[in-house]
Amino acid sequence: DTEVTQTPKHLVMGMTNKKSLKCEQHMGHRAMYWYKQKAKKPPELMFVYSYEKLSINESVPSRFSPECPNSSLLNLHLHALQPEDSALYLCASSQEALAGGGDTQYFGPGTRLTVL
Amino acid sequence: DAKTTQPPSMDCAEGRAANLPCNHSTISGNEYVYWYRQIHSQGPQYIIHGLKNNETNEMASLIITEDRKSSTLILPHATLRDTAVYYCIVRVAGGIYGGSQGNLIFGKGTKLSVKP
């Protein structure tokens, strides 16, 4: 089973709202990722968590706040977003530091976010 | 920036083999070639990866040239459901221990259209 689930599937929010995106995996993976994908563009890495600790932040604005409460869950807290933040937000997970490319990332279906 | 070059689009007749090329002339010895695909508005789906030997799984075959500067993803019997954007990515395996070289950096990919 290589399933990563994300909720909600769609989210519409105003610029003053606070909302959260959720991601869950039960594959025993210890690395989890957030990507952002604008329309007609490839996915771009935002954050990487390893063993529940933030290891990579790709210079993402502070209005995006990630959280990894345990090894199976990853949240992305949103506050004071701008319309240009509208995008597909993708979560992925992988094992860690395995030879042979065993740390393949598996993606969830994404959350389609619209900021009004 | 992505380290790969792919044609922006390709067509394939249903039932025929789809051969998707990828150029990665600057690949390093410790970098793997990964292929993902993304069907419209869904999360990227892992297809296959390899280091230097040809690889085959239930989805596809990956042919890597001896000098490793290019590769070809082969879908042996394309169906309409294989219509998607196909991404070729080179990366260091080993999760975050590969540093930023372990990140998935998506290029623009190849838009494969399978036609009846």
Closest-CA distance, B78 to chain A, in angstroms, reads 23
Please say whether the beta carbons of B32 and B81 come within 8 A. no
pLDDT tens for each residue of B25-39: 999 888 899 999 999
* pLDDT on residue B103: 78
Residue A67 CA to residue B109 CA, distance in Å, equals 31
Other CB atoms within 10 Å distance of the CB of residue A104: 22
Residue A82 CA to residue A14 CA, distance in Å, equals 8
Instruction: Quote the Cα angle for A25-A63-A21, to 5°.
Output: 25
Where residue B97 falls among pLDDT bands split at 50, 70, 90?
A: low
Interface of B with A in 16-55 (CB under 8 A): 32, 34, 36, 41-46, 49-51
Residue A76 CA to residue A61 CA, distance in Å, equals 12
pLDDT tens for each residue of B54-70: 999 999 999 999 999 99
pLDDT tens for each residue of A65-76: 999 999 899 999
Range B21-50 average pLDDT: 94
Closest-CA distance, A16 to chain B, in angstroms, reads 27
